[in-house]
Structure 1
Amino acid sequence: MNKILLPLLLICYSTGIYSQGLSEKKLKEIVESYKSSIETALVIEDCGHVFDGPLYAAKQLENVFLDASLNFNSKERKVMASSIFYDVIRSKKIVKHHASKDSVLAIVQKITNQLVSKDVIYKLTIIDSKQVNAFTTMGGYLYITTGLLDFVDSYDELAFVIGHEVAHEIKLHTQRKVTKMLYSSSFFKLISIADFKKMVSSINSSLSAPFDQIDEYEADKYGLLLAKGAGYDVNRFGDFFKKFEKYEKRDLLTKLKSTHPFAKHRKNCISKYTN
């Protein structure tokens, strides 16, 4: 318990230093966020890998400093997002007309209707690839492979995947990853816009989007809520991971090298969220 609470208490302390001038409403939101983080960390500790609960708590501390250190305004995000999008479509084979596109767009619409903020307009691109994958880049650009569309057995399953990808945008996972890469690559020195765009593109345009394992858990939870709110069957969400589970090798080395949690653990946590 202490290994989970300590990072969260550090967040409270560090944020408290900068809390002067914050409104009562904002402070209440911060407190509620901490409570939610503790609850989620305890759930993940139970259903995930032995490392995942403590890592989730520690990740929240990292997020506080990343969010405070660098933030993109709406104009910067729009310019960056557009540049990344054009880099992606130049490097991938895009399917303009797919038999399932209208159905997928309908799911995207139902999912995004659940969002309180309407600042981001989500845009779908289907990529011709046998790989089973989906990813999102800054600015609400969603990418789904034809391999994924062939892999899922229901729209409920697909709605969960789309909700998961939307959650990556809402929860600022890509932006935080960019911030970390910016610091590690430039050692806090300014770099050119061209170099920065190239770096961000390399981070985001791969079909295996390099989100941290803890971000995947958070995107699973929030994506589940979005898909559920859109009317899809929560009992089918875990089906996506059941098909991966029997093929994965769950050893420590694989755990340390992987950008995603084990499918078995993600399936277990989805079951916890739906109960």
Structure 2
Amino acid sequence: MTEKGSGSSRFADLGIRAVSGVVLGLISLVCVVIGNLPAILLAAVLLWLLLWEYHRIVTGCVRLRAPELLVLQIGGVLGIIVAGLQSIPIGFVIFTVAVLVAGLKAGKQFAFLALGSFYIGIAIGQLLLLRLIHPNGFALLVWLVCVVIACDVAAYFAGRVFGGAKLCPRISPGKTRSGGLGGLVGAMVFSLGYGAVCGWPLGIAAGAALLVAAASQVGDLVESWMKRRAGVKDSGILLPGHGGFLDRLDGVLGGTWAFMALDALGLGIYLTN
């Protein structure tokens, strides 16, 4: 979501972003469709990578074998596997212990590391549980991720075509208000179409999409603030055109927390009626 420039410069990164996004999406979709075990392994790998990138942002440590990072990653993966195969409460306890131990070893960065790790880990766990145990979980999982993608894509094009005033210049100078608004509209339009196909109440589908899309933008801004605080441009280098996995999934994490709020209020079930 940047201001308008020349036609070529506005969309210079579109090709590589599209290719890497499609590849990641296809791999994830295949794992989710095949069955429970591939979905659990996908969630474990994603959590491992996200915690690695987040630890680097918070602590500035680039060591792959930093003790607190290994504790965090191993606890996260074990928690995901146990929650997916056997017991959600036990998996949560394992992850909580790992986060607290890692946070204590991180010293003065305890609060940032612990809170951010919970934010990431619980969201990834919720996405997995949607696939495994939620009524019509596959349809909801696809809807949730695609709402965030629709928001991101619409925001990208609206921001580059219309430009204009910045959304939050102190945190993310490239984002514009036109992009933010375009993202909300794009998410709502997608959700209305998806809801019509699935037979969902369209008012609920539109309202839920707006909430999830808004939360995804907040998640994006929170990650941008963390990176600015740490003095880094990207969370990593593993995804061409995007930076790191946290750069790509920050909106999904924020949107997932919004869905959890809807579900806790008993509204999530209306999307499947």
* Short-chain TM bin: 0.3 to 0.5
- As a proportion of its length, which structure holds more helix? 2
Q: TM-score, with normalisation over the residues of structure 1?
A: 0.32
Query: Relative contact order (alpha carbons < 8 A, sep ≥ 6): 1 or 2 greater?
Result: 2
